[in-house]
Amino acid sequence: MTTETPRWFTSSYSENGGACVEVATNLAAPHGIVPVRDSKNVGGPALAVPAAAFSAFVAGVRGGDFGTV
């Protein structure tokens, strides 16, 4: 098995002074995970979120299921 390097990106909607998360969706298909990390601590830990759970979260955000703050 080849180990891929996460390709991190931040949403284009993230313009809040750097308090964001980064995701590496390139690992969803080959490994079934979407790593998530704090953009202010790129050398810190990353959460390995199951791809199906990440997709459900994104669908919920797009559908307005979480409301606004």
Per-residue pLDDT tens over the stretch 3-56: 689 999 988 777 766 678 999 999 999 999 999 999 889 899 999 999 999 999
Total domains present in the chain: 1
Helices (H), the chain: 28-31, 51-62
> Could you write out the DSSP letters of every residue in 15-34?
-STT--EEE-GGGHHHHSEE
Cα(41)–Cα(4) distance, integer angstroms: 21
> Is 49 a member of any domain?
yes
Q: Which two tokens stand for residue 28?
A: 């969803």
Inside any domain, residue 69:
no
Query: Which amino acid, one-letter code, is at 54?
Result: F
- Residue 50 inside a domain? The answer is yes
Instruction: Give the Cα separation of 3 and 20 in Å (integer).
Output: 26
The answer to whether residue 10 sits within a structural domain is yes
Question: Does any domain span residue 29?
Answer: yes
0.85 surpassed by pTM: no
Tokens of 47: 């959460």
User: Between residues 17 and 62, which one has the greater pLDDT?
Assistant: 62
| Domain extent at residue 24 | 1-63
Please report whether residue 68 resides in a domain.
no
